[in-house]
């Protein structure tokens, strides 16, 4: 999902996902009419060892929901079996992706609480 929505505390990670999303989108359009297929799965937070204690605290304090690796893997298999180009996992994440695409900077205030939690976790003054 961070390839679609820029969230406080995830600037570099989100930028890398945005680049991959843009690459997949362009490549999908380049191979139109061939036997190749490019699909994009956008999971929300996923429960892995990649998330350190600080990341888990951030998710807990901001109410960020996360899915197990099994849920994400199942969604990937479903996507691969479908003809869909993209799939975003989670609610309200699917809504957030659509709103962010339409409203862009108009969504900035929606993430004020996450920015405040981030500053608290890192003891950064505004």
pLDDT of residue 124: 59
Report the percentage of the chain scoring pLDDT > 70: 98
pLDDT of residue 126: 54
Interval 77-105: pLDDT, tens: 999 999 999 999 999 888 888 888 888 77
**CA 57/CA 5 separation, integer angstroms:** 20
Work out the number of other CB atoms within 10 angstroms of the CB of residue 89: 19
Interval 29-60: pLDDT, tens: 999 889 999 999 999 888 888 888 888 888 88
* Secondary structure E strands in 1-126: 40-42, 45-46, 66-67, 86-88
Report the percentage of the chain scoring pLDDT > 90: 40
What is each CA distance from 34 to 80, 84, 87, 106, in whole angstroms? Answer: 17, 16, 21, 38
């Amino acid at each position: 999902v961070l390839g679609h929505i820029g969230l406080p505390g995830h600037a570099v990670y989100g930028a890398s996902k945005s680049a991959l999303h843009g690459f997949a989108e362009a490549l999908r359009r380049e191979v139109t009419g061939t036997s190749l297929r490019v699909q994009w799965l956008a999971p929300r937070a996923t429960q892995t060892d990649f998330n350190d204690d600080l990341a888990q605290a951030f998710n807990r304090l901001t109410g960020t929901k996360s899915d197990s690796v099994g849920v994400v893997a199942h969604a990937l298999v479903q996507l691969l079996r479908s003809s869909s180009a993209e799939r975003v996992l989670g609610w309200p994440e699917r809504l957030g992706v659509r709103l962010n695409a339409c409203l862009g900077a108009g969504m900035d205030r929606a993430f004020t609480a996450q920015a405040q939690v981030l500053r608290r976790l890192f003891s950064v003054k505004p």
